[in-house]
Structure 1
């Protein structure tokens, strides 16, 4: 297709390269070699071209761009294609320009604050919908789904006894061991019992139980409801006149609120048991003395503090899990994202509410 002439152009000192026939991808390699073999300055004659595609046009355009070649004899269609190729020659940035560190930090902080604000507003709206569903159930008790609540009791409570019991037992041992190591420096090992009793009953029993329930049941709530959203089961409920809030959210909320105090009390007992075994083996304090000392140093108000916080934590965990589950849309990857968000959100709110409770009980004298 290509005919190369090494003679000098009559109008200038340029070397002439005349293209004849097809200038397409099938001849791209040979055309490229022929163009590279011709010295500068170069003139490309396209008057004999019968067929040209974008690859051929790119070769001509690149030669013009890189070597300063001139093009002559191009038809209207060929000239239009060359112009389109030239307009498309816009280098893309593989890596975006680096912004200043302060700008990036402020941008990320602003995005986080905006997301937190949207989540808070959505959670408050979801809470309002839940309260309206509770009011509707109170007006019409027949709409209450007892079987669904009982099934959630099994998920939230019974099946969690093993992991919560083991965790609490080990926490009791760890608190006793760390407390004894520090108190031995002052010859006050006996006060290890005070440490175990008060921190377990007042704080750790309920708080660690809430964290475990958030990671276990809160994530399960988000994943279950999220999967139902993807499979359009939630939309099917609305179609047949069943409220998803009443059928899916309310039973889970009630189960978490009812079971959390029981699980927290169980965790307290297991922590005290673990701490008692440790002080008996390591410090030589017999179980009877351990129990008597607990009765002396742990006020009943500590037990009430732990049990009052438990149902609030359960409500928050279930609310966050169901809220994130209801936000799932699009694909299965969203289920994992929302499940993670449910766990993080519920644990964060539990810790914040726990701090609020600590200040409140301190103000009312339950120290």
Structure 2
């Protein structure tokens, strides 16, 4: 299974949006390890603690606190040239989007449009990768895995914003970047878990908080299935994809990333049970939300990434949970967050 190539990334000028978030912090740490020169663009962390602060990510990258909803601020941050752009910045929480849809659309749509508009002035770009979501598909709860050719849709504001972001990216590609010879693609990632996620309304973060307080985490939809993926598998896929976009003109412009094809579906309740057992926490409890419109089933077919890139996820759900909870246990016991991330990245690169 392929992992990111240090010889590609060494010295690359990388613009990474969302570097203050959970996935963005892991990406910044990994890119720094690979030798890239990383500039981060994002809002300040919106929770405490945050992996960005715990791991002192601002010491690893040129960190710029910028609101992507502000075109002038974005333009001012893109004065120097970049080789690769990884756009991870987003409002990523489904329930937050339901509570504040307008802000979510402003961030996930106009933030992307502002970034792409600013990047049109760049003449050194080798590839732009926009990360969207596994929730971009029109999901009628039929229980089948979605492939890249399936129709886009979204019955909640978060899903709709990400499906619309796919259309925005494609429109900029066809109108501007294709003519400039710059590949612009989207990566549709699964439900990501890993150490250092402290966000509200995220399953693992909620479990860790409940365990720390001696409480049982409440699950709204324990029967729901999701394409669970460890953050290292997810990011490895993104980085390998960006390499292919920069090096091979025939690389597809949209790919799914999720569990290895053929693996079993894992429900929210099953994943939560693995997590609370690993932490020695109280069993989860069911707290139904009768007004929820979240999909009951969600799966993505990641076979195209395996076929085109030679990449597939290495960790199954139990392995992803075990690695995640190891991070939280060791960090909670006083180990350094950055060293923990670097050690897990090194082990992943080494095939362990």
TM-score (normalizing by structure 2):
0.25
Higher RCO, 1 or 2 (CA under 8 Å, sep at least 6)? 2
| Structure of greater Rg | 1
TM-score (normalizing by structure 1):
0.25
Instruction: Flag the structure with higher helix content.
Output: 1
Instruction: Flag the structure with higher strand content.
Output: 2
